[in-house]
Amino acid sequence: MSRALKIFLVIGVVVLGILGGFLAGFLLSAKLGMFTQPSVLSSGVDSVFALMQRQALDPPDETTATVGAINGLLQSNGDRYARYMPADDFKSYSETMEGSFGGIGVVLAEENGNVRVAQVYEDTPAARAGIENGDWFFEIDGIQRDSWTTQEIQRLVKGEPGTTVTITLCRPYTEEDTMNMRYPLGVPYTVTIERAVIQVPVTKAELYEGDIGYIRLFEFNLVSGDAVREDIKSLKAQGAKKFILDLRENPGGDLRQAISISSIFIESGVIVKVESRVDGETILESVGDTTLPSEPLVILIDENSASASEIVAGAIHDHERGTLVGMKTFGKGSVQTLLNYKDGAILMTTAHYLSPNGTVINDVGVSPDVEIPMTLGAQKELETDIQLQEAIKILGDLR
């Protein structure tokens, strides 16, 4: 499985390829009023934009060009995580962070300019339609793209409960496949799904071996910290004395929630160091409210644990608070700040973070204490999930 879990926006290939930063400058100055005087940049882009209107096979309209321009400027410094979210995309993003929306019930992840299913929530339209983790999006209601972003997929898939959406996905080939692999992403299949209100199950909790509490955290949204604490309370009432926090396939999310969840296990000290060109170094420490200060702990991670997941894993490792089991994490050690802009928002990289001991995570990742390679599909059942089995064994040996 590829480890690239990138959040990489490619909008308007022709516009960006020809105009790049020039088009960005022009439209930001001409349409958004950010410059009071014409510049060489805007003048040059003005000419190219006019040329495209006269000569291009498929010239962009002003709205498309503006979106492409803003993204061209945001990424002109090499920031692959930056993107502009117009009003519809920003609305979809906000609904996802709040945890309730009309959709099909999947978590998305970008990889190499395409979008795959990172998680399928149980008892949702997606689960009933047979969509599986790892499937790639190819077409939505007849719309195909050479590349997708998570925001585009969210906007097209979400909608009023009771309405339908037709999606073509590609199921990755297995090692046993001997068929003609003529589709790059796998075998395509099409499903028509009726949308429903999706209450995102932020966590999943179970009790193993009578005293091992297992919590899977799907993403770091605005209620993640509270959800984990509630699960711990419930599991302790059932007799749990040792705990597993599963961060596999968790793409991250809100930095504040990473601090909150780390603080559940770490009473005091540094959780993460944030380095910014503007603000210098900021040290973020445990906020207290520690629920499990010393109970035995295992953190499950894999190559798609990213961002906030890596903050938690790095803090647990550096404080020697628990054992990391699984595979090296993705390696996204940069901080994106969401800035309201017009009716939408701009997301850009404003800092990068280091683990409490000063270890660089970006493009490196967090290594497990116990490395266990495993395919994504093996997580479906305990009988095949050898990473979870090892976590249970480690805690069981502490009796």
Partner residues linked to 351 by β-bridges = 276, 335
Buried b (16+ CB within 10 A) or exposed e, 204-221: ebeebeebbbbbbbbbbb
Closest by CA to 3, choosing from 371, 350, 249, 317, is 249
Catalytic residue among 231, 302, 318, 385: 318
Is 343 considered catalytic here? no
At position 330, the amino acid (one-letter code) is: F
Give the tokens for residue 89: 């995309």
Is 393 considered catalytic here? no
Catalytic residue among 29, 92, 307, 309: 307
The rounded distance, in Å, linking the Cα atoms of 248 and 300 is 6
- 97 CB burial (10 A radius; 0-12, 13-18, 19+): middle
**Which distant-in-sequence residues (6+ apart) come within 8 Å of 175 by Cβ?**
none
The rounded distance, in Å, linking the Cα atoms of 79 and 77 is 6
**339 DSSP assignment:** E
Question: What are the C-alpha distances in Å from 197 to residues 32, 133, 284?
Answer: 36, 20, 36
Closest by CA to 84, choosing from 72, 70, 105, 98, is 70
The rounded distance, in Å, linking the Cα atoms of 10 and 12 is 7
- 73 CB burial (10 A radius; 0-12, 13-18, 19+): buried
Q: How many CB atoms lie within 10 A of CB 60?
A: 20
Closest by CA to 242, choosing from 378, 17, 394, is 394
Residue pair 236/264 in contact by the 8 Å Cβ criterion: no
Catalytic residue among 91, 158, 242, 332: 332
Is 332 considered catalytic here? yes
C-alpha distance across the termini of the chain, in Å = 36
Residues annotated catalytic, as ranges: 307, 318, 332
